[in-house]
Structure 1
């Protein structure tokens, strides 16, 4: 749209038409902002998941009978509480409020664990079911934290990447511990129990 102005001597002058132009690097910054949004959405998702696990793990402990499994779950519950705190630190780093968004995947995994515990008789078979459910949870978390670490690296959020990487390593260790418990006794005992 042309804009008419008057010069100092009273002559009419037409100002050139101005248009908003996108900078040549708008694609790069747009991608970064989209990745930033995805990063934040994934943070909200795993934040909900970790908070939900602080309530779900004690139920697993209550149904477990193997002392080794109980110890592994209790140890991981303490770590999970730390994971919640670490996620709050990451939100702080990116200048956002820590907000949880319901994680449908984790809700489904927790529901599956609940069904297993309700349907199994107490003992090795229930313990094996708890381990199965817990490892599915761990694998979901490993995938989530691995992705978040990559996003943080791409976005240049080195402090966030380091924090998320610490949690990723703990999730991998928890998964390995559950495998050890299953292989050392629980699965063997469950195999000998009558259905």
Structure 2
């Protein structure tokens, strides 16, 4: 905006004070908006919903790391190469999910931390018991391992689905996109495990004596 000028009696230019006042008012408005944004952000971070959201992220962060280790044992225990490969692929995918969660923490200005997840610990322990109680090299073991793996998937699907919706509610759109991407991958894995079971593993297991 050009600054208007007038002339004094001695013909020297004088700046229009209205332009200066308008500039000052604009700067003041921006400062107020910045202050309000800072207050709103602090209020959000102190809200019960935000605290729950972060706690749930720490819970699934612990779970994903625990699942990586569990998949090693499940892959080793599996009978068929197809199921072994499925567990190997899921382990690789789970490592990506851990990295993606770390990005979510960063997007909401929080530090990635693990909080013990009793639910996933129980599911993993159940999977370990399945390995002990089924015969090595049997299709029955594979059928049981698929059920154990799908219990893991269903826990993750429920968690990521809920977290994605909370992220949308709180305006964390980029975080929501990442969480929804992981949700879709978990659903795809669950479907793939069902396909493996229904193609032949369950039928072959039924024939075992």
Shorter-chain TM-score: which interval?
A: 0.7 to 0.9
Shift of 1:113: 0.2
Mapping 1:115-126, distance limit 5 Å = 115-122=129-136, 123-126=138-141
Q: Say whether residues 1:35 and 2:49 are aligned partners.
A: yes
Q: TM-score, normalised by structure 1?
A: 0.83
The residue number in structure 2 matching 1:95 is 109
The residue number in structure 2 matching 1:135 is 150
Relative CO higher for 1 or 2, CA cutoff 8 Å, sep ≥ 6? 1
1:142·1:168 contact (CA, 8 Å) conserved in 2? yes
- Provide the rounded CA distance (Å) in 2 between the counterparts of 1:38 and 1:140: 17
- Provide the rounded CA distance (Å) in 1 between the counterparts of 2:97 and 2:44: 30
- Provide the rounded CA distance (Å) in 1 between the counterparts of 2:128 and 2:75: 12
2:163·2:179 contact (CA, 8 Å) conserved in 1? yes
Q: Say whether residues 1:166 and 2:181 are aligned partners.
A: yes
The residue number in structure 2 matching 1:60 is 74
Partner-residue secondary structure (3-state), 2:79: coil
What per-residue deviation string (whole Å, max 9, x for no partner) do you get for residues 108-156 of structure 1? 0000000001110021011011001000000000000000001100010
- Provide the rounded CA distance (Å) in 2 between the counterparts of 1:38 and 1:190: 43
- Provide the rounded CA distance (Å) in 1 between the counterparts of 2:88 and 2:206: 25
Q: CA RMSD in A?
A: 1.6
Shift of 1:170: 0.4
The residue number in structure 2 matching 1:5 is none
Which one has a larger percent helix, Structure 1 or Structure 2? Answer: 2
Q: Considering only CA atoms, is the larger Rg found in Structure 1 or Structure 2? A: 2
Q: TM-score, normalised by structure 2?
A: 0.77
Partner-residue secondary structure (3-state), 2:47: helix
Distance 1:100 1:165, change over 3 A: same
1:32·1:155 contact (CA, 8 Å) conserved in 2? no
2:45·2:51 contact (CA, 8 Å) conserved in 1? no
The residue number in structure 2 matching 1:156 is 171
Q: Structure 1: which 5+ residue stretches go unaligned? A: 1-28
The residue number in structure 2 matching 1:191 is 206
What per-residue deviation string (whole Å, max 9, x for no partner) do you get for residues 54-79 of structure 1? 10001000000111111111111100
